[in-house]
Amino acid sequence: MYCADCESIDDYFFKVTHFWIFVPTVETFGKLAGLCGSLELKANQESSHCISCAVEQSQIQKFLTSVNGALESKELENTKVTTTESYQIPHLAEMGRMATMAVLINRFQARWLIESVEKEQYESWYQPIINAKTKRLYAHEGLFRIKDELDNIVPPALAFKLAEASDLLFSLDLVARRSAVECAAKARLEGKLFINFNPSSIYDPSYCLRATASSIYEIGLRPEDVVFEVTETHRATDLNQLKGILCFYRSAGFKVALDDIGSGWSGLNLLQSLRPDYVKIDMELVRNVHNDEYKQNIVTNLIRIAKTNGIEVIAEGIETEEEAQWLTDANADYLQGYLYGKPEPAKIDMSYEEKEKIEASLKPLDNAAKA
């Protein structure tokens, strides 16, 4: 029901999978030929830089694990592979889904992730954001949670890292955004909604972002009450693309936040370049700030810079009253952390018909994922 990347992962592997492996060097060719011999797999030299072999379904794990051990990391990145269900030269369709050996190995390991998405074994949890002055609820941040085949919640960082290594980051990020919108609407959460997104996961900004915006409109949320929070800002490599993404959101009436400001120089550079509506001060600076003069100087100046530029400040990771009081006195606008509430699943209280209406409104995101 989701991304073509997700749905096609099983198409790489069959009852008998024929691997067509294109190697960068003769040395790599020799390693793979020797490996196939040791595993008693029938291998064919298709050309000086292409070797093919057939692997039974029960042996794929062993084969890929052995390849991972036999080749150096650069070889894994520079070796290309596609698969067919029978011994026939790959057609354009198979060549079109050519992947690096590293990605293919990770995709096989990511089967549980794909299955969890397909079975909708995920949800969004929400953490409150409080107005520093009034101590009233201001917003909720949606935090994605996904379960494995044993129904255990997998640490989000691990799930997204695996998705990235498997070339599935776009799919998982889109599912996470869909979940944040859907669960918030079904729970009728009050206040603004902060939705995380990783800028490196946007393949086609115009199409993907239109689908996200369309679903939010259809579901009945007001654009001014939705804030797109840019995560992994330290890894932003294409500043112009990121500017374009944020400009689209702003033109549609949404707000933008930058996460973890203060965790590195890149954050300050992005603050100047992107001019967000909100910034979140990194929790490492917040921790025990009331007793640390060095942190106090940094946070005070971050807040001053933000305020001078008309940017509202959220301090995250607050666990004590002392931290909260110091940050309030330092003129932070909003506070977030365990002191005010841990991330929790949203409590859904609505009729079946209302749920169906919301799910129908999210069709644009499903279609975007399938494109």
Shared-domain flag, residues 103 and 125: no
Give 34's DSSP letter: H
Give me the pLDDT at residue 127, please: 97
pLDDT surpassing 80 at residue 321:
yes
Q: Is 132 exposed, middle or buried (0-12, 13-18, 19+ CB in 10 A)?
A: buried
Contact in structure between 151 and 143 (CB atoms under 8 Å): no
pLDDT surpassing 60 at residue 46:
yes
Shared-domain flag, residues 199 and 98: no
**Mind listing the pLDDT tens digit for each residue in 140-177?**
999 999 999 889 999 999 999 999 899 888 888 888 98
Shared-domain flag, residues 103 and 122: no
Is residue 21 very low, low, confident or very high in pLDDT (cuts 50, 70, 90)?
very high
Q: What are phi and psi of 85, to 5 degrees?
A: -80, -20
Write down which residue in 78, 109, 140 finishes a domain.
Answer: 109
Residues near 265 by beta carbon (within 8 Å), at least 6 away in sequence = none
> Which CATH number is 256's domain given?
3.20.20.450
**Mind listing the pLDDT tens digit for each residue in 244-286?**
888 888 888 899 999 877 665 456 777 778 889 999 998 999 9
Shared-domain flag, residues 168 and 272: yes
**Mind listing the pLDDT tens digit for each residue in 194-234?**
999 887 766 555 666 676 777 787 777 888 999 999 886 55
* DSSP line for 110-175: THHHHHHHHTT-EEEEEEEEEETTT--EEEEEEEEEEE-TTSPEEPHHHHHHHHHHTT-HHHHHHH
Shared-domain flag, residues 278 and 141: yes
Write down which residue in 109, 136, 163 finishes a domain.
Answer: 109
Say what the alpha-carbon torsion angle 259, 292, 307, 268 is, to the nearest 10 degrees. Answer: -50
Give me the pLDDT at residue 362, please: 60
Strand ranges of the sheet holding 50-56, from the earlier edge strand across to the other edge: 43-47, 50-56, 16-22, 80-84, 99-100
* DSSP line for 61-92: HHHHHHHHHHS-HHHHHH-EEEEESSSS---H
C-alpha count within 13 angstroms, C-beta hemisphere, residue 146: 26
C-alpha count within 13 angstroms, C-beta hemisphere, residue 7: 8
Predicted TM-score (pTM) of this structure: 0.83
Shared-domain flag, residues 32 and 122: no
Write down which residue in 109, 135, 170 finishes a domain.
Answer: 109
Instruction: Please give the residue range of the domain that contains residue 235.
Output: 114-370
Shared-domain flag, residues 76 and 135: no
Q: Which is more confident, 112 or 220?
A: 112
Q: What distances in angstroms separate CA 260 from CA 124, 151, 207, 241, 365, one per listed residue?
A: 21, 30, 28, 20, 27
Give me the pLDDT at residue 366, please: 57
Shared-domain flag, residues 92 and 123: no
Number of domains in the chain: 2
Contact in structure between 330 and 306 (CB atoms under 8 Å): no
pLDDT surpassing 50 at residue 3:
no
Helix axis angle, 156-165 relative to 169-187, nearest 10°?
A: 140
Contact in structure between 279 and 311 (CB atoms under 8 Å): yes
Contact in structure between 178 and 198 (CB atoms under 8 Å): no
Give me the pLDDT at residue 228, please: 92
Give 322's DSSP letter: H
Shared-domain flag, residues 174 and 322: yes
Q: Is 277 exposed, middle or buried (0-12, 13-18, 19+ CB in 10 A)?
A: middle
- Kindly state the percentage of the chain with pLDDT values over 90: 60
**Mind listing the pLDDT tens digit for each residue in 80-105?**
999 999 999 999 888 988 999 999 99
Shared-domain flag, residues 229 and 362: yes
